[in-house]
Amino acid sequence: MNKLMIAMAVSAALGLAGSATAQTTAMNSAATPITKDNYAMAKTNAEAQYKVDKDACASLSSNAKDICIAEAKGRENIAKADAEAMYENTPKAREHARVVHAQAGYDVAIEKCDDLAGNPKAVCVKEAKAALVKGKANAKVDRVAADTNKEAATKQADARTEASTDKRDAEFKVAIEKCDALAGTTKDVCVSNAKAQYGKS
């Protein structure tokens, strides 16, 4: 029975983070930026929803109330972090949102662990902490990968530009070499045309 209670406490708490993580994954893949006005509206809506959710917790007591408030606060923090991630649209902002998801799940899990005692409670707390560490680690790995991909794309673009310049320079040298077979005005016109064609002064 104790193992069942631990599993229920952790899985229910992590459900908040789990569903939120799925939303973040969708947000990451879509990467749809929002406007500053939409971002401000999302924050206002999150705060208003938190007040409604918190008021709904008023009828509860003891730890049930603490859990309810932690869930409400977690949803508010997640909504704000997701909105910020979509507004900023950077790997760092998306990492922060995922950390907030993990933290929200942890906060709820810890409250649920308070319903337990002794070793079951200790195990529950350790599992909640492990889930938080895992969530933060995964968020960091994904952010580093995104930064690396961006850096790689920049290097690739720079390489393409450099290669294009090198090829044009080589083609210009060929054109000038062909002009050397000519003489007088014809040669001057050939050189002038080659310079114009390859953007040389």
Q: What is the pLDDT of residues 116-153, one digit of tens each?
A: 999 999 999 999 999 999 999 989 888 888 878 777 77
Q: Give the length of the chain.
A: 201
Q: What is the dihedral of CA 53, 57, 59, 65, to 10 degrees?
A: 180
Closest CA to 85 of 134, 146, 129, 131: 146
Mean pLDDT for 170-187 is: 90
* CA 81 – CA 78 distance, rounded (Å): 5
Closest CA to 109 of 2, 5, 1: 5
**Predicted confidence band of residue 31 (pLDDT cuts 50, 70, 90):** low
Whole-number percent of the chain with pLDDT over 70: 85
C-alpha distance across the termini of the chain, in Å: 85
In the predicted structure, residue 88 carries a pLDDT above the cut 90: yes
What is the residue whose two structure tokens read 């799940």?
105
